[in-house]
Structure 1
């Protein structure tokens, strides 16, 4: 039974994470904590192991998604590497801070962060792009399959600092960080939406590698659970990338936003009670 649950969790996380550029951790971590300490179906789950397992699984989600988006030429590798210069160290720092969190404090902080992510998803289409970054020193160009040309860019220092914050949250909570990074790339740096998602998944993949190493060294990874989650995450990520190329994801974002709010409220209650 527990293996079937883990496969479904991995598949769901892969589809949702790849479709919107989240990475899938927002599904894996709360699901593990629910079926572990709350429901008692999964044994040995703590905040630290949930985050460690999530980051290792996101390696598969991130790699699968990145390869799929690279085939569609919607991954800005150079920009992704610049972001990783910040997110990589941020993930390591977040992983080490995570070890000091108790179950109650993790629930509390995680709950508030889920509600924050829901708010970001709510306003991401309502904020006007920051045009001044069009004159930034680092500029990129992209032409979509319909021949539409895009120009976008950002100051590398700001990009690295923003990515460090996202990486810190990733290492601390086991999420991919794309829910923050994708709107930032679209709104502040004027990335085309599909390029923002593809580039975000590259950053998720690289950041998950560094974060996973930290959690493996800390002994926070249950490899049997990773083995059950990884296949679903891999194929789910490919399915999510395929859907992303064909459908508008607004409805899924709405559903995800509601789910994040419910998860956040439940997590906060768990942390207080």
Structure 2
């Protein structure tokens, strides 16, 4: 079994290195459906796995000055309280006893389908919105976005929704967060979107993971095996990623996530 966990970490690490996404989206379903890990433990362990594997990225992006910290604070103002409230509710109603296995699995399915949709539709939706700028609905969305107070409030609400989703499923902080930021802050460069999204995802997954740990839904030995496999996997994936087109890998990953998401829901 230990070798299986090492290989799972290696596979997910390679996918993360090649595409920049897929950590929580792939690891939690693998743990639940292949290794039959209790859903709450799979989510809790994967949250700390995601926090640790992404933490190095913050330092690199911070040094280059591409993290927009005011946006990170806005997201965190919604996500951290929402995470703590979700953890309190789940713990008070028997998370450690497996009472929420079905809720977690369904939440995972929804999160995976939304994440895959974000991967597939991000560019087409952007083009569609730009081509329909005169449409009343699109125009109203742009007007809301241009108001700084409205934008700040929507960012906080977005953080809260991500906090609930990530705490329940360990999925959503990456691709979904990036798509929403891309719409709300269109003047940001691509690297600034990615850096800001990661800078928010790390404390969010860390807090949620520690919360799961406090109620006993983190398997520490499993976490060590996953990390031992993923770190060389990320190194391999980054080298493969420059040789395989992103236009091939992202749609393939999105299709896999849709199929796994459907399995979670049925």
TM-score bin, normalised by smaller chain: 0.7 to 0.9
Query: How many residues end up aligned between the 2 structures?
Result: 246
Matched, 1:209 2:201: no
Candidates 83, 86, 91, aligned match of 2:75: 83
Which residue does 1:173 correspond to in 2? Answer: 169
How big is the shift at 1:236?
4.5
Matched, 1:219 2:219: no
The RMSD of aligned alpha carbons is 3.0
Candidates 110, 115, 131, aligned match of 1:117: 115
How big is the shift at 1:211?
0.4
Candidates 54, 61, 69, aligned match of 2:61: 69
Tell me if the contact between 1:24 and 1:58 (Cα under 8 Å) persists in the aligned partners: yes
CA, structure 1 residues 118+176, in 2 after alignment: closer, same or farther (shift >3 Å)?
closer
Matched, 1:187 2:183: yes
Q: How does 1:256-267 map to 2 (within 5 A)?
A: 256-267=253-264
Which residue does 1:149 correspond to in 2? Answer: none
Gaps of 5+ in 1: 38-44, 139-153
Greater relative contact order (Cα 8 A, min sep 6): structure 1 or 2?
2
Candidates 158, 163, 184, aligned match of 1:162: 158
String of CA shifts for 1:67-123, please: whole Å, max 9, x gaps: 343355433233223222222222223334552754344333322332222222222
Deviates more, 1:168-177 or 1:97-106: 97-106
CA, structure 1 residues 90+239, in 2 after alignment: closer, same or farther (shift >3 Å)?
farther
Tell me if the contact between 2:145 and 2:184 (Cα under 8 Å) persists in the aligned partners: no
Which residue does 1:137 correspond to in 2? Answer: 148
| Bigger helix fraction | 2
Tell me if the contact between 2:108 and 2:171 (Cα under 8 Å) persists in the aligned partners: no
Which residue does 1:228 correspond to in 2? Answer: 225
